[in-house]
Amino acid sequence: MSYIIAAVIAFSVMIMVHEFGHFLVAKRVGITVHAFAIGFGPRIAGFRAGDTQYAINLLPFGGYVRMAGEDLDDAAGVGSFRTKSVWQRMAVVSAGPAMNLLLALLLLMGTALVVGVPVGVSNRIGQLMPGWPAEEVGLRPGDVIAAINGEAMDSGQEVIDTIHRQPNTDLRLTVERDGQRFDVTVRSRLDARQNIGLIGFRPEAIRERMGPGRALVWALGTLADTVEVIFATLVGLFREGGKMLDQLAGPVGAVRFLGEAGAAGTEIFIYTASALSIMIGVFNLLPFPALDGGRLLFLLVEAVRRRPVDPRREGYIHLVGFALLILLLLTLTVRDIGKL
Q: Would residue 242 count as lying in a domain?
A: no
Q: Would residue 216 count as lying in a domain?
A: no
Which CATH number covers residue 197?
A: 2.30.42.10
Q: What integer pLDDT is reported at residue 57 of this predicted model?
A: 84
Residues 335 and 154: their CA atoms lie apart, in Å, by 47
105 and 126, same structural domain?
A: no
176 and 102, same structural domain?
A: no
Of 202, 210, 222, nearest to 121 (Cα)? Answer: 202
Q: Would residue 221 count as lying in a domain?
A: no
Q: What integer pLDDT is reported at residue 50 of this predicted model?
A: 85
131 and 93, same structural domain?
A: no
Q: Would residue 235 count as lying in a domain?
A: no
* pLDDT tens, residue order, the chain (340 aa): 566 777 777 777 888 899 999 999 999 999 989 888 887 778 888 889 888 899 888 876 677 888 888 766 556 677 888 888 899 999 999 999 999 999 999 999 999 998 888 888 888 998 888 889 999 999 999 999 999 999 998 889 999 999 999 999 999 999 999 989 999 999 999 988 888 999 999 898 888 899 999 999 999 999 999 888 888 877 776 776 555 555 566 566 666 666 666 666 677 788 888 888 998 898 889 888 888 998 899 899 988 988 887 777 877 787 787 787 767 666 766 665 665 5
Q: What integer pLDDT is reported at residue 211 of this predicted model?
A: 92
Q: Would residue 236 count as lying in a domain?
A: no
Q: How far apart are the first and last CA of the chain?
A: 13
Of 43, 96, 107, nearest to 258 (Cα)? Answer: 107
95 and 12, same structural domain?
A: yes
Q: What integer pLDDT is reported at residue 25 of this predicted model?
A: 95
Kindly report whether the global pTM for this prediction surpasses the value 0.75: yes
Q: Would residue 329 count as lying in a domain?
A: yes
Q: What integer pLDDT is reported at residue 61 of this predicted model?
A: 66
109 and 6, same structural domain?
A: yes
Q: Look up the domain containing 54 and give its range.
A: 2-113+253-338
Q: What integer pLDDT is reported at residue 279 of this predicted model?
A: 87
Q: Would residue 144 count as lying in a domain?
A: yes
Given 152, 184, 208, the domain boundary residue is 208
Residues 115 and 218: their CA atoms lie apart, in Å, by 14
Q: Would residue 237 count as lying in a domain?
A: no
- Per the DSSP assignment, residues forming a β-bridge with 152 are 147
For the chain, the domain total comes to 2
- Long-range contacts of the stretch 19-23 (C-beta < 8 A, 24+): 19/63, 19/64, 19/65, 19/96, 20/99, 21/95, 21/96, 21/97, 21/98, 21/99, 21/100, 22/65, 22/67, 22/92, 22/93, 22/95, 22/96, 23/65
Q: Please give the backbone phi and psi of residue 336, each rounded to the nearest 5 degrees, phi first.
A: -65, -40
DSSP symbols for 104-159: HHHHHHHHHHHT-EEEEEEEEEEEEPTTSHHHHTT--TT-EEEEETTEE--SHHHH
DSSP symbols for 41-72: EEEEEEEEETTEEEEEEEEEEEEEEEETTTTS
126 and 86, same structural domain?
A: no
- By the 8 A CB rule, do 274 and 107 touch? yes
166 and 129, same structural domain?
A: yes
192 and 169, same structural domain?
A: yes
> What is the rounded radius of gyration, in angstroms, for the C-alpha atoms of the chain?
25
Given 178, 208, 238, the domain boundary residue is 208
